[in-house]
Every structure is written in structure tokens, then in C-alpha cells.
Amino acid sequence: MVNFREYKIGARFFGLALGGSMTITLFMPSFDLRNVNATEVALDKQLWAGHESGFSLDDPFLTGEHRPVRVTLKTDPKTGQPMASTVAYVYPAGTPLPNGVDHPDNLGNIVEQLSRDKGRIGEATKSQGAVFLLSSEPQGDGSKQFYIENASATKGWNPEEVMKAAGDENTYHASYGKAIFVREGCWWCHTLLPEETQDWQVFGAPPMLGDFNGESPTAFGSDRKAPDILHVGSRNSSREWMMLHFFNPRLVQPHSIMPRFDYLWGPIDDKGQKIDFDKWRAEYNEYVDGKRVTPPEVPMYASNSDARALIDFVLSLK
Amino acid sequence: MFKYLFARSEDIPEGSAAVYFGFSAITWFVIGTGLGAFNASKLAFPDFVTGLEFVSFGHMRQVHVHAVIFGWISMAFAMAMMYMTSALGNTKLWSEKLGIWNAFLWNVGLSLGLTLLWSGMTSGREYSDFPWFIDLYIATFMTIPLGINVWMTVINRKTQGIYTTNWFFASAVFMVSIVFIVGNLPEWFHLTGLTEAYLTWWFAHNVLGLWITPVAAAIAYYTIPKVTGNPLYSHRIGHLHFWSVVVFYSTPAAHHLMSAPLPEWLKSFASVEGVLILVPAVAFVSNILLTMQGKWNMFVENLEIRFTVTGCLMAIPLNMQGGFQQTRAINWYIHGTGWIVAHAHLALLGFSTFLEAAAVYLGLQTLMKRKLYSLTLGNLHFWFLLIGFTTYWVSMTIAGLIQGAGKIYEVPYIDVVMAEHPYMIARWIGGSLVFVGNCFWLYNMWMTARAGTVIPEGRMAHELAYER
């Protein structure tokens, strides 16, 4: 009965219909998307965000294992001599390399060729680690073409020396911060996509075609219940404000409906003292009830806490 | 049920797999809507329960979404397939044992996946949030075994033709497996950037368009003729519905990203195809409502018909929204606002849930051969669901319009948050009503199994009078 003639014809038409729809919606756009050249924004983002910000075998519980850091160098890591402030992206040994480096067809032809020939990205390995720079080459028309430079190959910088030369205060854990952004579900309310038709004045310019190459996940968000934060670092660069806002958003914005993220502080503050959350909440409730004039002091986060990484991430969204 | 996992297939009573799926679905519905109501409370009162990572909004939102989609809706679908496919083929389910294992592994996999999501282990992709090994599990142990059972039952049917419902079932179980495998390409091959964003929404669009919408409609094609006794109004319109779903519903994925820098031709194409979704919608609604001719009294008197017809009526606003809200002229206003949240709940909690609830009511009574324990509880369930959902939908639509106005006039965002506050409270009340209604339902079905009047051989559940 399977060989009923109508069903043979129907099955073929079904294949044609579904195959046709897949050709149009998957195969054809892939040509457009493959030809996109990565912009400066995309190169910077994939270098600080690293290989993957969601679940991966390198960091299955999204707790910050095997993540790159972004540093600002003021001295040459080799010679110790002062130099012009330079941003470097440090991938310690064992950290998966950024997507533009270990994935073919990710940066677009022009950027990929420059990064390979001039930037020597082919010489970077996960087992040794690497330090990357965002470099540019002047073009004939006066513009600049950006590419990835593997400073471990071109300058002989190794990850440990660069981290040491930069110091903790010039190190930004934005990659881990983005993983926390995904893990804690910040993107369920804060979108990363100012819209093309409006949003320009408040949330800044919408992203361009080449601004995403190498980013995973893009986490645009679809259900905006809070301000778009793609450019939040340009609007507000205050660490103190961010710290108060994460600990309890109602401290800086009484009408906010954002959850408190005080648990990202972990058990201890920056001096190694245990944080007494119950006492803090009790005193805060007294403040809300009008029994205190000022809210209790927000403890300073430890330099290896989740709160620090998340603030590093938010401030890198320029 | 567990004793049947290792029984010989012929020793397992007919319908066991469907009953197992049915009760699992109701239980996930209670869990999923409970989580939804709790999440809503946090949007209304952010300090309600605070300071604990595992009850924070960001950890629970996706658990709610996946509990209702893969727990409630998909298991109710599997339940319907387990008994409708065989009934319409005038045969038995191909393998009760496979069905029992399918339901068991479904519950195990979903519990595991939701626990991981809750702990924050996520791919960071909306609707395909599960890490890739859970996606692999879903395809291998959930959708493909279900597909095999449905296909083998259709192939071994004892009728010559295949009824409308079974075209949809057979093609949807095939398509959902394809959608799962293709939609998770970003995770299998670590695709990045716009490709990743586009495929995320390709998955999200098609899991609704090629799984939830057609299967829900297929269920109504069974329930209405079966309970009213009227033949389906038109087989031809059924054809139109089927083919237009396959052709038009599988293409507009890009309309979810109208504000992203995707190729313009792709967005325009998706937008036009998106309007054409009205073709299957009109075909379906007209076919079902015309089948009701002469039996409209059952809309009042019979619980299953009331649920199904209400669901069909909700398909009208659903598709009018769905067809037009994605065009550029409207999308710029409402994109990313509560309007979309209201629309998504109209699709899943309105249209689809009402059709599946009818199928579960009908199937459990038929297979357990017991009349529904209490009509009063059934009525309470219906009205709690309908009033709760309507409260939710109206409040979120208004909140979305406020957000849209705030967006285009560039109002400071905090003013939008303050203006939305009353609607967030209404949303929470609506969600809580749905949750309470579902608790009644679970109790009612449990009591039907234990104390419902036995349906005599050769009679159908709806032919007996309600007793309580």
C-alpha cells in the first residue's frame, strides 16, 4: 500500500518544496555572508571575546576556564622600555584561539590574506599560547585595512611576559565577562542590537555587516526589557556606577526591575574579608523603610571575582 | 509504566505509550507554567526572591520556555501521534515498547537538559539554548524514535489512503528532525557571526512553523470530525493547507532579524513569504469551522470541542498578527517589545495549547476507557486557561505598544519600565491563573484514571453524560 501512486508524486513534490526552501533560505545567503570582510569592530571583538562565549568543552560550566584577556601595555614586554599605549590580546597556553585564526573563511578574503601573510597568524598554536594585536595597513584611498597580527611570531612576545608587563590594573577579563553575560541571562533583557530604523540617538549606531565575523554566540536578544547595551561603554564608563548597579540596581536607579547580582561578588571582598550579605540586606531594607538615611556601603569586589569580569566586559562594549 | 520498559511488546496494553506521554505532558505543563508565573512575578517585583543565583530570572527564563515547548507541547504531540496515527490507519501502533522507551527517554533527557540550562550551561542561542550534546540527544532519542514509530504505523496501515492528520504527522516528525540537525549547525561546526545569528532564527522559526503549527492543526483535523461525527468539510482545502505550510512556512526565517544587517534581498523575500503564511492559516481555520456545521451546540456542551474551537478561533488573530507584524512597515515599531512576547504566547499558550489540551482530554479518556472525572474541574481548567491567557495577552500587547512608542520617540528607557509596571503585574496574575488551572487539570486527570466511570465497550467518551 506504500506504493500508492499519489504518494509517490506527493513525496517527490515534498522533497522539491522543502529542498527549494532550503536552497533559498540557507544555500543562497551563505554566498553573501561568506564574502563579508571583518571590520575593525569584529576583529577587536573576536580577539577579546575568544573562541566561544557559550557552552564549550574548554569551559563547560562557563566559569572562566581557558579564556583570553585584553591588556593595555605601557612598557615593552621584552625590553621594559616605556612605549606608546598598546592594546594586546593575550591567549595563555591551552586557550582556544580566536575564530579568525583557527577557522578558515571567517575573516573575508582581504583580511584573511593580510592576517596570514603580514600578521603570521598561521604560526599561532593553542598549546603554546599567543599574543595578538589589532594592526592596520594604509590603503591607497587613505583608509586603513585592519588585520590580526600574531605578536608572538612578529615581535617574539610570549603570554606570561605580556601579562606581567601589563599588571592586574591594566588587564580586562572581558572574555569571561561575556560568558557570564550569557550564563546569567543578561541578554534576555539587554539586547546587543540597536535597530536600523531607530535607536540611533539613545543606543548608538546599529552594527554594520562585517561587525560580527568570528563572534559566537552573537546573543542579539529578541525581547528587550532594558536598554540596549551594544555601546554602553561609550555612554557610561564609570566602574563605581557599574559596581553599585550590579550589587543592587535600585541603589542608582530606584525604578529599575533588574535583578540584584550581588552573588557575583562571591564570599569575600577585595581585602579577603567575608561579605555579610544578610547584614547588608537587613540594613538595605531599613534604608528602604526610611529608618536609615543612607544605604549600606557596597563591598569592593575581589580582583578575581565574577563581578570584576562582568564589569570589564560591559566597559569594553564601546 | 516502568514495568513495561522490559516487557515483551505484545504484553504491553494498547495505548500505554500514549497514556505515559499524556500524563508526562500535563506534568511538564504544570511545571512550565509554574516557572512562567514565577518569572513573571520577578518582572513585576524584582526583589521578590533575591540574592540566589538559581532563582534569578536569567537562569529560569529559558527553563520555562523549554519546559513548555519540549515538555508540554511536544509530549502532547507525541501523545496524540501515539493514538491518532494508528486509529486513522485502522491498525495498532507499530511498537508500544518503542513508544514507552521514547516517553521514558524523553523525560530523562528533558530533565537533564533543563537542569543544565538552569545551572547556566547554555549555548546562548535563543530557542536552541541547549548545549550541543543535549541537541544530539533530542534528535537521537526523542524526535527520531518518534518519527520511526509514526512512519512505521502509517506504512503498516490497513486503509488505502492516508487521512489529512497523518500527512501532517508524518511530514512534521521528518521535518523537525531536519530542523534540529540543520538548525544546530552553528554548534556542530562552530559557525560564527551573522551566519550563527541567522541560523539561530532559522531554527526558531522552523521549529514553530514545521513542528508546532502543523502538528497542532493536524490534531484539530482529528478531534473535530471524531467528536462531532461530521466528516471533514474539505479534503482539498486540507491539501491547500498542507502544501502551503511546507512552501510558505519554511522560508521566512529572516523576518526575525529585520533590524540586523542581513542581505536586503533575504529580508524582503522573507517578509513577502511571511505574509503568505495567511494562506495555510485561512485554509485551516475555514476548514475546521465549516466542519462544525450543524454541531455548534457541542461548542457549549462538549469540553474537547470547546477547547479545539477556541484554539482555532485564536488562530485568526494569531495569523493576522504573524502575517503582518513582520513587514517592515509594522516591524520597526513592535520589534523586540512585549507585543512579540504576547504574540508568542498567543501561538503557544493560545492556539496550540488549546488544541493539544483537547487531544489529551480525548485521548486519555478513550485509552483508559474512563469518562472524565469532573466536568466542573474541566470547566474551571478551561476558564482559568482562557481568562489567564487573555489577561496575559492583553497586558503584554499594551505593554508592547508602550515600549514601541518609547522606542521610536526615544523616551528614556526607565520611563518605559515605569509605564509598564501595572501590565507586568497583570501578566503575573494571568500566568498564575494558567498555572492554577493546570493544577486542577492534573488532579482531574489523575482522578479520571482512578475513579472515572468505566466506558462500556463500543462507546465513546463523549457519548456518556458528565457526572460531576
Name every chain B residue with its beta carbon within 8 A of the beta carbon of A182.
Answer: 122, 124
pLDDT tens for each residue of B259-287: 899 999 999 999 999 999 999 999 999 99
pLDDT digits (tens, 9 = 90+) for B228-254: 999 999 999 999 999 999 999 999 999
Task: List, for residues B374-412, the tens digit of each pLDDT value.
Answer: 999 999 999 999 999 999 999 999 999 999 999 988 899
Q: Is A205 on the interface with B (CB under 8 A)?
A: no
The answer to whether B418 contacts chain A (CB < 8 Å) is yes
CA nearest B343 in A: which residue?
A223
Parallel, antiparallel, or unpaired for β A144-150 and A69-75? unpaired
Work out the mean pLDDT of chain B and round it to a whole number.
Answer: 96
Task: Give tens-digit pLDDT for B176-235.
Answer: 999 999 999 999 999 999 999 999 999 999 999 999 999 999 999 999 999 999 999 999
CB contacts < 8 A, A to B, total 224
From B255, which residue of chain A is nearest by alpha-carbon distance?
Answer: A25
pLDDT for the residue B457:
92
Q: How far apart are the first and last CA of chain B?
A: 28
Interchain CB distance below 8 Å, A198 and B191: no
Count other Cβ atoms within 10 Å, centred on residue B404. Answer: 21
Taking contacts as CB-CB distances below 8 angstroms, the residues of chain B near A214 are 192-193
**Residue A112 with chain B: CB contacts under 8 Å:** none
User: Which cell numbers hold the place of A26?
Assistant: 540557507
- Chain A: give the shortest CA distance to residue B69, in Å: 18
Nearest by CB to A53, which of B124, B126, B261? B124
Nearest CA in chain A to B424: A257
| CB-based contact A186 B58, cutoff 8 Å | yes
Rounded distance between C-alpha atoms, residue B7 and residue B149, angstroms: 18
C-alpha cell of A63?
566559569
Q: In what order do the strands lie in the sheet with A171-172?
A: A144-150, A130-138, A82-91, A69-75, A171-172
What pLDDT shows up at residue B118? 96
CA B433 to chain centroid? 19
Chain A CB contacts of B131 below 8 Å:
54-55, 60
**Residues on chain B touching A42 (C-beta within 8 angstroms):** 193
Q: Cα–Cα distances in Å, from B4 out to A97, B8, B86? A: 50, 8, 20
| Cβ separation A55–B121 shorter than 8 A | yes
B427 in contact with chain A, both atoms CB, cutoff 8 A: no
Q: Closest Cα of chain B to A91: distance in Å? A: 19
Q: In three state form, how does the secondary structure of chain A look?
A: CCCCHHHHHHHHHHHHHHHHHHHHHHHHHHHHHHCCCCCHHHHHHHHHHCCCCCCCCCCCCCCCCCCCEEEEEEECCCCCCEEEEEEEEEECCCCCCCHHHHCCCCCCHHHHHHHHHCCCHHHCCCCCCEEEEEEEEECCCCCEEEEEEEHHHHCCCCHHHHHHHHCHHHEECHHHHHHHHHHCCHHHCCCCCCCCCCCHHHHCCCCCHHHCCCCCCCCCCCCCCCCCCCCHHHHCCCHHHHHHHHHCHHHCCCCCCCCCCHHHHCCEECCCCECCHHHHHHHHHHHHCCCCCCCCCCCCECCCCHHHHHHHHHHHCC
Burial of A150: CB neighbours in 10 Å, binned 0-12, 13-18, 19+: buried
B positions 343-402 inside 8 Å of A (CB): none
Q: Quote ipTM for the complex.
A: 0.95
pLDDT at A278: 95
Q: What are all long-range contacts of A279-283, with beta carbons under 8 Å and residues at least 24 apart?
A: A281/B51
- Look at residue B137 and tell me whether its pLDDT is greater than 70: yes
Closest CA in chain B for residue A213 = B193
- Choose among B192, B197, B246: nearest Cβ to A14: B246
Q: Tens-digit pLDDT profile for chain A (318 aa)?
A: 455 677 888 899 999 999 999 999 999 999 999 889 999 999 999 999 999 999 999 999 999 999 999 999 999 999 999 999 999 999 999 999 999 998 888 999 999 999 999 999 999 999 999 999 999 999 989 899 999 999 999 999 999 999 999 999 999 999 999 999 999 999 999 999 998 777 888 899 999 999 999 999 999 999 999 999 999 999 999 999 999 999 999 999 999 999 999 999 999 999 999 999 999 999 999 999 999 999 999 999 999 999 999 999 999 999
Q: How far apart are CA A13 and CA A4, in angstroms?
A: 15
Q: Does B408 touch chain A (CB under 8 A)?
A: yes
Q: Cβ of B340 and A25 within 8 Å?
A: no
Is a pLDDT exceeding 90 seen at residue B3? no
Query: How far from chain centre, in Å, is Cα B295?
Result: 27
Cβ contact A183–B122 (<8 Å): yes
Contacts of B414 in chain A (CB under 8 A): 253, 255-256
State the pLDDT at residue A197: 74
| Number of other CB atoms surrounding residue A231 within 10 Å | 16
- Residue A179: closest C-alpha in chain B: B124
Per the DSSP assignment, residues forming a β-bridge with A132 are A89, A150
Nearest 5°: CA angle at B417, between B415 and B420?
110
Which amino acid is it at A188? W
Give CA separation, B387 vs B19, B310, B383, B396, B430, in Å: 28, 12, 6, 14, 7
Residues A275/A229, Cβ–Cβ less than 8 Å: no
Among B356, B359, B445, B346, CA closest to B71: B356
Contact B32, B67 (CB under 8 A): yes
Tell me the three state secondary structure of residue B106.
helix
A185 contacts in B (CB within 8 Å)?
A: 56-59, 61-62, 120
Per-residue pLDDT band for B75 (boundaries 50, 70, 90) equals: very high
Q: What pTM value is reported for the model?
A: 0.95
Q: Which pLDDT belongs to residue A198?
A: 75
Q: Are B75 and B24 in contact (CB under 8 A)?
A: yes
Position A255 scores a pLDDT of 96
* Inter-chain CB proximity A250 and B410 less than 8 Å: no
